[in-house]
Structure 1
């Protein structure tokens, strides 16, 4: 089973903020009545069980893990370790497993205290998925499982049977590997500053949104790709109304304030550059790629600003068409949203 990456260089998490206070504790998104919806998911701790194995007898330990986690063991061995499925005859896995266990045991020890208690994360996940069930009643909430993988493994992955949370990407912005030279080469500071436990629920919702509504905008003009990326941001905002907008957008407070105060400036700069209908990959990357800033914009402007504008256009559309359901919005052609929004920020 191939894992769907939700990388943190990645498409990041970009949504809009409205006021300064929102960066400290949520926004004005409508909060649905979910009192009749039951979600009580527990994060199963594959990471703890894996690093509790006897390093001198990893083969037997892996067989025991296969019995306890039959729905995840091969995702871990084949897709995360890249060594094929769990088997007594898999010699590639035997060696890869030994190298990974010995190389990352100290990483596990360094993260263990911070992740000893995931109850607050579970509470946030349960609240988010209650809201998701409210808007999408047919959605079945999967099981959650935490693992610790190589640093280039995903922070969140949707597998066939679970949402897998890679704790190696939530160690805190000052975790030693992130600040090391190899760590900075892999994850520059503008990325690794978001490697905090507080991003787990947001990243999970974003991963689910991308899984439920796969992005089909590749090759389309910039404005349509902005809308499609903005849909994920809008839906994440909808189901996490109490989460700080700095978490949901991935912006710093200063970047968020600048966007909020200069929305019209951002839009006019894009229009002046005459790039809304460009299909040039380098132009599109400039606006919807993760970066410390946006080329040809003031230094205060964050990267991936096109997704922020896309989400604002969607908000404008929903203000004019409040009867539109989230399902309809997520499946709606981007051109219809653009035409119906009549977006004209000041």
Structure 2
């Protein structure tokens, strides 16, 4: 693609110096809580299972643990995949008595020491969800140390938070994922991960004939917008899992990023390989710039959805999430970011 001034790769490389000139003029944002949300009834009961799990010393105690926690056993641990409860109990016993996992368990309990704090934060999240979706049923919440096998499970009847995933850089053992994903496994990213999981309950997918780059971008953008609305005091960088520098670079170059999608005729591309380049996990998107972060298509979709909701103040979050036509959202958003 061509520019009147510098190419996009150069613009991304020099965004920081230009941004410094704008920082002093940028209007500060504040988080305003809606008093109506605080009145929403959304009882959250958090049960900490870490200590009872690490109290397991043999397979008989592991089977007792399974019997006391049938939902966890059936849904999170997927007991039906094992030939017998004895087989699952043997695995749990090995995990619970593993010195390395025990150490990680102690670190997890130290990082998430306050059940009251976690319960309060989850309650505020659930109040926001029920504010927008009054029929939402708050599931019972269990915290667990999974041995870094699964970070989160949520459905209408159960939520399991594997807190060992979210201890952060101080943990002895961390999820076996690339660094650009690993940075999203910190305490600050726990609630956004929960919120995005809940969004899938309401985020209606686009029809099969509209599974294009635009369709995927809008789908992911709706999920991020949902997360933003139910966690209104969480910074954008945490919601999407970018560094502050990456987010500032995108905001400064938004017009150029959008121009790339337009000039390369990407919006209606339906090649899964091409789509994944822009919306899936990658350290960067070199097709745009070496410093353009992965999942950039999701970020652009988020900005389109934001613009759509800004220009349609009477559209509810529920109506947005039910909207299956990505083209309508784009057209009616009048999203036209300018190049700088």
TM-score by length of 1: 0.81
Q: Could you tell me how far 1:215 is from its partner in structure 2? A: 3.7
Q: Partner of 2:163 in structure 1?
A: 167
Are the counterparts in 2 of residues 75 and 159 from structure 1 also a CA contact under 8 Å?
no
How far apart, CA to CA, are the structure 1 residues paired with 2:294 and 2:112?
Answer: 30
Alignment of 1:197 onto 2:195: no
Other-structure match for 1:43: 46
Partner residue in 1 for 2:78: 78
Aligned pairs for 1:1-346 within 5 A: 31=34, 33-53=36-56, 55=57, 57-67=58-68, 69-78=69-78, 84=82, 90-103=85-98, 104-153=101-150, 155-178=151-174, 186-213=176-203, 215-216=205-206, 220-332=211-323, 333-346=325-338
The alpha-carbon deviation at position 111 of structure 1 amounts to: 2.4
Q: Residues 152, 63 of structure 1: CA spacing in aligned structure 2 closer, same or farther, 3 A cutoff?
A: closer
Report which of the two structures shows the higher radius of gyration computed on alpha carbons: 2
Asked whether the 8 Å contact 2:138–2:156 carries over to 1, the reply is no
- Report the secondary structure of 1:310's partner residue: helix
Q: d(CA) in 2 for partners of 1:303 and 1:175?
A: 25
Q: Distance in 1 between matches of 2:128 and 2:89?
A: 42
**Superposition deviation, residue 65 in structure 1:** 4.9
Measure, in 2, the Cα distance between the counterparts of 1:51 and 1:38: 34
Contact 1:50 1:65 in 2 (8 A): no
Q: Deviations over 1:314-333 (max 9, x none)?
A: 11111221111111111112
Cα distance in 2 for partners of 1:281, 1:59 equals 48
SS in 1 for 2:160: strand
By how many angstroms is 1:160 displaced? 4.9
| Alpha carbons of structure 1 residues 64 and 256: separation in structure 2 relative to 1, 3 Å | closer
Q: Is the 8 A contact 1:84 1:90 kept in 2?
A: yes
CA contact (8 A) 1:83 1:96 kept: no
Q: Residues 223 and 320 (structure 1 numbering): CA distance in 2 closer, same or farther, change over 3 Å?
A: same
| Partner-residue secondary structure (3-state), 1:202 | helix
Gap runs ≥5 in structure 1: 1-18
Q: 1:310 to 1:224 in 2, by over 3 A?
A: same
Distance across 2 between alignment mates of 1:109 and 1:319: 46
Report SS of the residue matched to 2:313: coil
Distance 1:198 1:270, change over 3 A: same
The more displaced of 37-46 and 94-103 is 94-103
- SS of structure 1 residue aligned to 2:127: helix
Output one character per residue of 1:121-160: Cα deviation in whole Å (capped at 9) or x when no partner.
322221111111111111111111111113231x221145
Give 3-state SS (helix, strand or coil) of 2:161's partner: strand
| Aligned counterpart, 1:4 | none
Q: Which moved more, 1:253-262 or 1:106-115?
A: 106-115
Higher RCO, Cα 8 Å, sep 6+? 1
Distance 2:179 2:278 in 1: 19
Q: Normalized against structure 2, the TM-score is what?
A: 0.83
**Aligned-partner Cα distance in 2 for 1:27–1:299:** 32
Q: Tell me whether 30-39 or 279-288 shows the greater mean CA deviation.
A: 30-39
CA gap of 1:117–1:226, structure 2 versus 1, over 3 A, is: same
Asked if the contact 1:173–1:194 (Cα under 8 Å) also holds between the matched residues in 2, the reply is no
User: What SS does structure 2 have at the residue aligned with 1:165?
Assistant: strand
- TM-aligned CA deviation for residue 77 of structure 1: 3.4
State the 1:250 CA deviation.
0.5
